[in-house]
Amino acid sequence: MTLLPVRGLAIALPILVAAALLPLGVSGYILGLLTIAYYFAVFAMAWDLLFGFAGEVNFGPTFLIGLGAYGAGILNSRYELPIPWCLAAGTALAVVGGLALAVPALKVRGPYFGLITLVAVLLLQNMIVVFADVTGGEIGLTVPDVITIDTNTNYWLALGFMAVSGVILTVISRSPAGLILQAAGQDPVVAGALGFNVAKHKIAAFAVSAAFSGLAGGLVVFYMGTASVGTLIDTAVGVQVIIAAVLGGRRTIVGGALGAVFLIAAGELLRPLGALSTFVVSAVALVVILFVPTGLLGLASLRRAQ
Amino acid sequence: MTVAVRPGSQSPASSAAVPAAAEPCLTVRGLTKRYGGLVAVKGVDLDLRPGEILGLIGPNGSGKSTVMKLVMGLEKPSAGSIRLDGTEIAGWPSHRVARAGIGLVFQHARPLMRQTVLENISLALLPDSLLRLAADPAVGERAKAIAERVGLGAVIDRRPGTLPFADLRRLELARAIARDPRVVLVDEPFAGLTGPEVAAFSELIRGFRDEGKAVLLVDHNVKSVAALVDRVFALYLGERIAEGSAEAVMADPTVRRVYLGGSIETAARPEASFKSEPLLSVAGVDVLYGKAQALRGVSIHVHEGEFVSVVGLNGAGKTTLFNAISGLVPHAGTIRFDGRDLAGQKAAAIARAGIVQVPETRELFGDLSVRENLDLGGQHLTRAEADRQRDWLYDLFPILKDRERQTARTLSGGEQQMLTIARALMMRPRLLILDEPTLGLAPVILELLSKALERMRATTPITVLLGEQNVTFALPHADRVYVLEQARIVWEGPPDRFAGEMGSKYL
């Protein structure tokens, strides 16, 4: 098995080139939307590593995103550390927090892992509100530094980050270690009997997922200049990440990117509907999940498989 | 229950095939496993030597699978020691046990469906490393060699979903070979395989022995593994009842008592004693699965209160016939129940009319208790009726009363089968269809089930249509017997004539 699917690259490369050329002909407003969509895509791809490969439903992607975002944001706003340091620290915090959650949570079987991750989000959300003097509480956190104010640079940065993340996650998922991870996710008993430490592989996957989620969360903060519970941690945001990944296709990694761009584009196109737009997007997502449970990309790869 | 152990049965010297000098590589002492109040394994002592095939046999619920799981580390023992070449491995997690040198060939494993056969085999060759991102070309070569060895050479690029059952078993075997364990545990090596496949698998398992590996085969009875094993260890209710050569164990009085029921006695009531108008009449029914004809012009009838058995081998069409009656598969021909044509009726309506089918796949609610499973069957009854019905069923299957609060998942196979039948009876069917209730059950359980059916027949006016390949189970209760062979009914008659007219051919 090659680590990068040749066919997939042949399709993805032209799309990426076209996306990179967008700033030449598209308004700054649309570029801003896509910038957010690309970071969102990384959330969704990181989530698919857990759901699609490790076989664990993480209902709290925003716990990891929030740790990365607030970790980076607080260091910058209180101690005025340079942005790269803040991002590194935020990512590390997301990994540590993710491990602190995953190590005990993966010991319990059945649906409890998902419930624990959900509770973790609520805990984080409350902590941020309670320690408002550090975190900005419900008003949100404002960071003094941003990466750049240039729309195009921000856009290219997000696009590049998404592409690199997608490649790394795809390579991991298609590597021998990724194969073991899939086996552990599908049949932990058999995987154990084949000599694989199931917990170790799942925890590693959680750490990788946490690193990408946390780093992307931090980048969003330094793109927008603010962090708030409503935009980064709320369970509704987590649900959006999950919908994006499932919509795009389970076990495909890049499906998450497609789903994220689709969700944000659809939300924007339907904006004239007002409050109804969220409803329509959710309904479309529901229809896809019900009738094409393998997602859009999953459908394509299933066709090939047969 | 106390079980007599034959003096001297502990000594494996009775088996000629075992090299006397070989030290055991796997030594199990005092192995015990309790699930709540249930003791599944009681102080089992077992030795396994390199280059030896040991058959671990026992009826359902005897604890043989539990012993296998304890050795593999899939369950933690309550007490006792398991030593592999002197290292204590009891209680280790399965991945450590696997790396220490024990492999398990699962009976039903789910391979990775999106990966090819070759990739599935390669998986087993990978080290347990997180950092292995690039594939090692040597792994692919070895995986190919293993695929050739187990007879998967021609299908290495196919996906498991497209393979027949026997090839999936080969894939399991391939993964065990890939791990190169010193001790191989094989769960029901021949379940679901045809004659030639059994021969091929026996050869592969002998290959393990010839390489000096120690092999433990876990199966229901001695007969299926007798040709292959050097020694047999018989387990019943969690304890050893016999150990020695296959012949010695088969001749053992305790084993015979556990395994063999009495001779077939039939107690048929003449057909004329029932009402002339049949309750169920099936006339000229054809069923097609794609191009394959699963039933060809089948006609049977069942009178009210009658017990009718349809015997036939696997694949003869029994389940298809029952599914046609229950409205689960489309069919040509007519099926009438209680004077009404069932054509075009939905399965739910047919069930409400009083035809209740107990499928061979038991379909219990595993997380619900015995009592809750029964109550689900009695949903449509009033409370008083449900209580009465349940009391009657507890009377019929006393073991279910003892297990009332246990979850269905924790029951043994035989108990689950009884619960499935009892749940169907809670619905107070007019016609009870039992599809292979003996599937996978050991004779001692069959006898219990058989007695329950006998009492059911004697004490209630219930009408039963039983599908079986086990003739010794199907005949004693039957008033009338049909033989189904390759989609057709080839014989009909009272059970006492079966042995004379069909027996030699069928048995």
Could you read off the pLDDT of B357-387 as tens digits, one per residue?
Answer: 988 776 788 888 999 999 888 888 888 888 9
pLDDT(B7) > 70: no
With beta carbons less than 8 A apart as the criterion, state whether B268 and B496 touch. yes
pLDDT of residue B2: 41
pLDDT of residue A46: 97
pLDDT of residue A165: 97
User: How many angstroms separate the CA atoms of A184 and A45, rounded?
Assistant: 19
pLDDT(B5) > 50: no
Q: 3-state SS of B106-154?
A: CCCCCCCCCCCHHHHHHHHHCCCCCCCCCCCHHHHHHHHHHHHHHCCHH
Nearest to B122 by CA among B134, B138, B101, B140: B140
Considering chain B, what is the average pLDDT of its residues? 84
User: How many angstroms separate the CA atoms of A155 and A159, rounded?
Assistant: 6
Return the SS3 of A200: helix
CA distance A172 to chain B (A): 7
pLDDT(A194) > 60: yes
| B157 in reach of chain A (CB within 8 A) | no
Order across the sheet with B26-35: list the strands.
B38-48, B26-35, B79-84, B87-88
Q: C-alpha distances in angstroms, B134 versus A8, A103, A168?
A: 19, 27, 13
Does A204 sit within 8 Å of B130, measured CB to CB?
yes
Please state the rounded mean pLDDT for residues B467-478.
81
DSSP 8-class letter at B282: E
pLDDT of residue B496: 81
pLDDT of residue B37: 64
Measured between beta carbons, which residues in chain A are less than 8 angstroms from residue B122?
A: 176, 179
Q: Closest to A194 (Cβ–Cβ): which among B73, B98, B129?
A: B98
Measured between beta carbons, which residues in chain B are less than 8 angstroms from residue A180?
A: 123, 126, 128
Q: Could you tell me the sign of the dihedral formed by the alpha carbons of A119, A122, A124, A126, in that order?
A: negative
Pairing of strands B102-105, B214-219: unpaired
Measured between beta carbons, which residues in chain B are less than 8 angstroms from residue A249?
A: none
CA distance B178 to chain A (A): 9
Which residues are CB-neighbours of B458 under 8 A, at least 6 positions away?
A: none
Q: Give me A114's structure tokens.
A: 């998902």
Residue B9 — very low, low, confident or very high, per pLDDT cuts 50/70/90? Answer: very low
pLDDT of residue B16: 43
pLDDT of residue A106: 81
| B119 in reach of chain A (CB within 8 A) | yes
This model of the complex carries an ipTM of 0.84
Q: Closest to B123 (Cβ–Cβ): which among A175, A180, A198?
A: A180
Nearest to A106 by CA among A209, A177, A193: A209
With beta carbons less than 8 A apart as the criterion, state whether B282 and B321 touch. yes
pTM, rounded to two decimals: 0.75
- Higher-pLDDT residue of B316, B396: B396
User: How many angstroms separate the CA atoms of B245 and B56, rounded?
Assistant: 12
pLDDT tens digits for range A22-78 = 999 899 999 999 999 999 999 999 999 999 999 999 999 999 999 999 999 999 999
How far separated are the first and last CA of chain B, in Å rounded? 34
Return the SS3 of B105: strand
Comparing A129-133, B27-31, B261-265, B438-442, the range with the smallest average pLDDT is: B261-265
Render A202-243 in DSSP notation, one character per residue. Answer: HHHHHHHHHHHHHHHHHHHHHHHSEE-HHHHTSHHHHHHHHH
CA distance A115 to chain B (A): 19
pLDDT tens digits for range B226-276 = 889 999 999 988 889 999 998 888 888 888 766 654 455 667 788 777 887
Q: Closest to B74 (Cβ–Cβ): which among A1, A180, A193?
A: A193
pLDDT of residue B432: 93
